[in-house]
Amino acid sequence: MKILIIGKNSFIAQNFISKYSNKNKFFYFNLHFTDNYKNYIKKILLFVKKNKINHIINFAGNNDNSIFLNTNKNILRDNFIFPLTLVELFNKQRINFTFFLSSEIEKIENSKENSLYALSKFFLQDSLKFISKRNKISLIKIDNVYGPRDLNFNRLIPSLMLKLLFKKKKIKIRLNQQKKLIYVKNLLPIIFKTIKNKKPFNVVNVKGKNINILNLWHNINKTLRNKHERSTKNNVFSNFFETLEWYKDNLW
């Protein structure tokens, strides 16, 4: 199986490549998809044919889920037009795909929580249901993902890791909240399984664990302060300690 990875700089992609690159033949396409994408289409078509790609996993995306629309973010282009373009481009080659959806889709009927990001993922999901295609397509619908290698400090868990490591700096985080979180290493086997998908259209729902962020904060600080033995694998907080260790070892 020859697998093309698009968006290899995504932290999920980096974890996926680290885990599975020794067992599979991965290819990488680095040219960015732009508004004037004729050149992109030509080059990726040649690349896929030359390397006889069987499956494409698209980790690339625009995850600005602000309720304030910003036309410069190109959210619809990156999350909706780009995946559809890929499917249309490789329909005759019967290349199979893995794309990512978001649980943010569930907010589109709420005007206070809706966003262009949620709409872009909703448009993708519904369009792929009804367009004529020969490809086998997997859509992975996920909550918030966290874990090692995530350097987007606008996200909750990376900023929380910074706050733990640099306590003297004022890093503002709203601790009093609940978040559904998925540990990235638990997501990887699910992504890999979609490569072997035989269904024409396959939607995989991956639900995160509901985490009280304030409780998480207190638990990690208590453990660090008292130098307790690291949490066991059965402890709900063990994945956060593993993530913290990665930031501690690599952030400097």
Query: Which of 42-56, 71-85, 182-196 shows the lowest per-residue confidence on average (mean pLDDT)?
Result: 71-85
Q: pTM value?
A: 0.90
Task: Work out the pLDDT band at 61, boundaries 50, 70, 90.
Answer: confident
Report d(CA 62, CA 123) in Å as an integer: 14
Which of 166-194 are b and which e, b meaning 16 or more Cβ less than 10 Å from the residue's Cβ? eeeeeeeeeeeeebebbbbbebbeebbeb
Task: Work out the pLDDT band at 91, boundaries 50, 70, 90.
Answer: confident
Task: Work out the pLDDT band at 180, boundaries 50, 70, 90.
Answer: very high
- Residue 28 · residue 5 · CB < 8 Å: yes
